[in-house]
């Protein structure tokens, strides 16, 4: 009985997490801000800037050059900042 309850709770948690990830993915796809950010940071590299939103197991990077949005990417929490290597 306990195993069944734990299995149901785990399944519901996974479904909720997937819902959060999908909602943020769709928001980023439509050039909107992600809704479920745990931490927001901004890194400046001269004329380039990266805004990072860290969510529950994923990261959203928005790249700017001269204050114009040039690219947005969403991926696992370990994706690298492309501006940091340039």
CA distance 51 to 45: 11
Structural contact between residues 54 and 74, judged by C-beta atoms closer than 8 angstroms: no
Taking alpha carbons only, the member of 71, 58, 67, 68 closest to residue 31 is 71
Number of separate domains in the chain: 1
Q: List per-residue pLDDT tens for the chain, 86 residues long.
A: 889 999 999 999 999 999 999 999 999 889 888 898 999 999 998 889 999 999 888 999 999 999 898 989 998 988 888 887 65
Hey, what are 1's tokens?
């009985």
pTM over 0.85: no
Tokens 């479904």 found at: 15
Range of the structural domain that residue 63 is part of = 2-85
């Amino acid at each position: 009985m306990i195993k069944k309850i734990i299995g149901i709770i785990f399944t519901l948690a996974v479904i909720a997490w997937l819902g959060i990830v999908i909602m943020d993915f769709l928001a980023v796809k439509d050039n909107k801000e992600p809704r479920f950010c745990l931490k927001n940071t901004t890194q400046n590299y001269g004329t380039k800037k990266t805004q990072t939103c860290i969510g529950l197991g994923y990261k959203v990077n928005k790249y700017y050059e001269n204050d114009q949005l040039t690219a947005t990417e969403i991926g696992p929490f370990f994706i690298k900042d492309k501006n940091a290597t340039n």
